[in-house]
Amino acid sequence: MKIWDKMTMNFTFIAIASLWIKTYIVYKYNFDIKIENSTEEFILFINPLSFLMIVIGAGILLTEKPQKIYVITATFIISFILFANAVYYREFSDFITIPLLMQFSNLGDLQSSVGELVNFRDFFYFSDVLLLILLAVKHPRFLTSVKLKRTSAAVFYFSAGALVFFNLGLSETQRPELLTRTFDREILVKNIGTYHFHVYDAYLQTKANAQRALADGNQLTEIENYTRAHYKAPNEQLFGTAKGKNIIVISMESTQNFVIGETVNGQEITPFLNEFIKESYYFDEFYHQTGQGKTSDSEFLLDNSLYPLGRGAVFFTHSGNKYMSLAAKLKENFYYTANLHANNKSFWNRDVVYKNFGYDRFYSMTDYEITDENSVGWGMKDAEFFKQSIDHLKEMPKPFYAKLITLTNHFPFHLNEEDKLIDEYNSLSGTLNRYFPTVRYTDEALRLFVDHLKKEGLYEDSIIIIYGDHYGISENHNRSMAQFLGREITPFESVQLQRVPLIVHIPGHEGQAISAVTGQIDLRPTVLNLAGIDSKSDIQFGTDIFSAEQDQFVVLRDGSFISKEYVYTKGTCYEKKTGEETSGANCEHYYDQAKQELYYSDRVIYGDLLRFYGNQ
């Protein structure tokens, strides 16, 4: 082999080696990937290599200038993918998927959040790109190259292919049925790597697009039989309690249950909610079940009692599907239905989805007087939003179903000094420190809203449901959360932190705390039963939270689940009362049910199966 052939390989291999090592460093220091043994550590180390050999290695087939341009360009693109995943992971402890990229239109509203997540240390992600450019510019003679011989190139690519199968085979020994566990992206990235995960994600997207074309009504029959078999009879005393009354549902942005009844620096975080709970039904084991769609997923759960998708947001990927929405069901029973959210109507594709769900009206930012003075962070302050929403509620035909979505308690949790009713917390996490004042602000805004409802004569004739939409503090802040809670944040504790408040206020009813395992998927049948509307024949995976037959079983979108006795997450079964690990056999039955429900729900969405409802 000529000396220049060796130089050719050196340049390409420098790019492969530098990107390989950089990816492994990011795995270890930017992603919280749990490693259980030396084999998993070895898999994590080698999994980027085969992809880099295949993609970056294509440079060995080129000569001179085209080779340099290709290798540098490919390295930059792959580095940017790694960087984007790292930035996203900092807040959401998750990895980017293709459906998530379909939400690109949201980025215009994400400036404050992205600015908070990016820092000067991110220069590291592109350091090898600059090194390659420096070598190409400063040492052109050293890097002058010719195309690698065909035989040598074939051996190189055969080695890359063999490494792919070796990696996958070794991973299967650690995690059988690896590629069927698509609800757990961390497991996939740990075993096949970030880059191969994106390739696999592209395959899943193609497969998902084909499912609708191949679907037929027979697939719905099996799912319909399952949901009807799991139907639970409503509470006879509460069925129809809300009939003829207004139903006001308030979605509290990023509000987790750990703030309820707690103090920071000796000050109550939620003084209003603490009092409101005393005259309401309060569920302290109510879990959010959202995925990458966050708030939009919580809305999807509320309206349809279907699970959100494991990849992307249903509001974007399947907004045109046929659904059996809560809004449409209430509308059939003479309710006026409306959404109120002082944000851009196209954010999360709401203008399209709400229309498809059958809502009569969407009050978006154009229906509010928004100024710099009454706005902060993501938009209109909650207190002003509620104040102006009262006028909209007053003009609605009665009875109405109105869903209001708050905004102020949104990452990165910025608040004007004059609106801070309590001091920030003192920890290493600025995010957690700022979180408490914004929660306190929303709590005060809710107090003012309820006062306005009373003054306008709406309070006594309305059922008020308040719930948290999703977590506000991600696992990346576990160290500071442990400081606040006074205990280590184990995987078991992380699941417990997915609890969000659920408060159901029914005029004339005494307050009652209910410790039953429930989730957002249970809201639709609960609301319908309160309104006196039978939903037994509907395809829904939730059950009435007031039902005496409630099975107390909640499945999270990542495949974790909670029952009355056990918690399962990240491959481990825990005793719910103690948080101690227990035999996996105790969770086996629940695991099968959780997997089946996620599978059935996904089939409904991907196949748009509800279009066949009533036609089987």
Whole-Å CA distances, 320 to 226, 244, 611: 25, 31, 11
Rounded Cα distance, 400 and 334, in Å: 9
Rounded Cα distance, 480 and 486, in Å: 10
**Is the preceding peptide bond at 412 cis, omega within 30 degrees of 0?**
yes
Q: Which uninterrupted H or E stretch holds 248?
A: strand 246-252
Closest CA to 81 of 214, 215, 197: 197
Looking at 8, 12, 194, 295, which residue is catalytic?
295
- Would residue 295 show up in a list of annotated catalytic residues for this protein? yes
Phi, psi of 569 (to 5 degrees): -160, 145
How many angstroms from the chain centroid is the CA of residue 73?
A: 32
Q: How many CB atoms lie within 10 A of CB 343?
A: 20
Cα angle value 438/560/208 (rounded, 5°): 95
Rounded Cα distance, 255 and 248, in Å: 18
Contact by Cβ (8 Å): 83, 324: no
Mention every residue, 6+ apart, whose C-beta is less than 8 A from residue 611.
321, 322
Whole-Å CA distances, 411 to 92, 112, 160, 272, 462: 11, 8, 42, 22, 31
Closest CA to 19 of 43, 55, 60: 55
| Residues pairing with 476 in the sheet | none
Closest CA to 521 of 575, 594, 572, 463: 594
Burial class (CB in 10 A: 0-12, 13-18, 19+), 414: middle
- The overall longest dimension of the chain from CA atoms, in Å, is 90
Residues carrying an active site annotation: 295
